[in-house]
Amino acid sequence: MLTELWSFRGRYRILHLTWFAFFLSFVVWFNLAPLATSLKADFGLETSQIRTIAICNVALTVPARIIIGMLLDKYGPRITYSLLLMYAAIPCIGFALAQNFSQLVIARLALSIVGAGFVIGIRMVAEWFPPKEIGLAEGIYGGWGNFGSAGAAFTLPTIAAWLTFGSGDVLNWRLSIALTGIIAALYGVFYFFNVQDTPPGKVYQKPQRARGLEVTTQSDFIFLLVMNLPLIGVLCLLAWRLSKVGFLSPGQLYIVWLLLLGLYAFQAYNCWATNKELIAGEKRYPPSDRYKFSQVAILELTYFVNFGSELAVVSMLPAFFENTFGLSKAMAGMIAASYAFMNLASRPGGGLISDKLGSRKLTMTVLTAGMGIGYLTFGRVGEGWWLPGAVLLTMCCSFFVQAAEGSTFAIVPLVKRRVTGQIAGNVGAYGNVGAVVYLTLFSLLPEGAVGNKIFFEVLGVMAMIVAFFCAFFLKEPEGSFAEHHEGEDDRQIESAPVFAKD
């Protein structure tokens, strides 16, 4: 596969077009951070307000990943990704035209939906690559696309400076943010006319109902409802944060909480509607068509500790190096950027290891445990540490974190093919849940070495707990290294109709 990767033909062309779609969605999603200081100065915002806007940036990504997963399974990745990229222009332009803090928050909440684009490509890549190669393919998609956050950080300040047309040190943050949305929308149109959901002759499998995640046993339905609780709980936590900066009054906060409770009830009803025959005992899945939701739950927890911790660490690492080693902001930022830069190789590396080791379960367990050890070691970093040693530790820890992300999504498409979009949406949403939980914890800890030590130790302990679950409860997916996906063989492909686009 590695030798054919640069051919830009067939499935490799689809892979390249799709990871670049993800790259642009991440450029849009992270277009605020590199321009935050200019925005703060322009509006005269307080630090707490800027932090609140940053949290709003991930707020609606949690439910959006669930909803996008449902739409994906029903309509296919080509239409879903194209529409999401075209939608990106609306909140970007709205944010660029905002005149007060409230308008910034509303536009950012709307823009956070774009962060759900990740789950779409997971199914697109899974349709085009066989199980034996899916780890590396999904890793390239996730790792190279995820680099869009670093791409935004390195390019947008320069673009914003160019767009001032020689007006001194002022950055034109408005036009540069609007430009990211416009570019994403144009690429959405291009993507629609240049990809197809499946290879010619392959049938795109859809669930009978896409209103909620389909499960195959009655006990799994209860498990599903329990695992959906944190997805609503984290939104309640975000609403509380908004109330602390005056965006929501106490009365409005209670109304939002009530609405979120109603959202959970609505989500539970949709899950019941999808599985009502199973719950009533009128339907029974044959053993060959069942899957264990416990496997989805473990993958949700793995993404909670790996991607959730990555988002949290990226946000505090520059200040950590600046304060611990007395570095300049520029130098601390460059060192911290090495954590994100590792995505280019680490996430594909995790997928490749998962493909080659012969056990996706063992890969997931070892990488998660390595991540835990890395964070626990990081908790001991202090003023007495040798700076190059701390940088090397950062890169090693980053490798385990991002390789674990790659190995997570080497398993996700193999759980149950026809609901891959919804499973990917649930697992991806837990990454955002982890980020919000970890960032909230960090905001409550004391500043300085003591707070940093507790923060990294919590990350490490959580990772070790999840590694234990992986070792003793995660099961190797059936057909992990097969030539074809579940329910698919040569005869099916040969007899299926050829699709030109869908």
Please enumerate in sequence order all residues whose Cβ is within 8 A of that of 40, keeping only pairs 6 or more positions apart, or say none. Answer: 47, 50
One digit per residue, the tens of pLDDT, for the chain of length 502 reads: 556 777 778 899 999 999 999 999 999 988 887 888 788 888 898 877 887 787 788 778 888 888 898 899 889 999 999 999 999 999 999 999 999 989 999 999 999 999 899 899 999 999 999 888 888 999 999 889 888 877 887 788 888 888 876 555 557 889 999 999 999 999 999 999 999 999 988 888 888 777 889 999 999 999 999 999 999 998 998 888 788 877 789 999 999 999 999 999 999 999 999 999 999 999 999 988 899 999 999 999 999 999 999 888 887 887 788 888 888 766 777 777 777 778 788 888 888 888 888 899 999 999 999 999 999 999 888 777 888 998 899 889 989 999 999 899 989 999 998 888 899 989 999 998 998 889 888 878 887 888 889 999 999 999 999 999 999 999 998 877 777 766 665 444 333 333 333 3
CATH superfamily of the domain spanning 292-478: MFS general substrate transporter like domains (1.20.1250.20)
Domain range 11-208, CATH architecture: Up-down Bundle (1.20)
Contact 213, 415 (CB under 8 A): no
Return the sign of the alpha-carbon dihedral for residues 313, 315, 317, 323. Answer: negative
What are the DSSP calls for 20-65, one per residue?
Answer: HHHHHHHHHHTSSGGGHHHHHHHHT--HHHHHHHHHHHHHTHHHHH
Domain spans in the chain, listed from the N-terminal domain onward: 11-208, 217-290, 292-478
Q: How far apart are CA 236 and CA 23, in angstroms?
A: 29
10 Å CB burial of residue 74 (0-12, 13-18, 19+) is middle
Between vectors from CA 419 to CA 11 and to CA 490, what angle results, nearest 5°? 45
Q: For 103, what's the count of Cα atoms within 13 Å in the CB-facing half-sphere?
A: 10
Contact 470, 398 (CB under 8 A): no
Contact 349, 398 (CB under 8 A): no
Q: How far apart are CA 55 and CA 37, in angstroms?
A: 16
Question: Structure tokens of 193?
Answer: 């006319």
Between vectors from CA 296 to CA 312 and to CA 438, what angle results, nearest 5°? 15
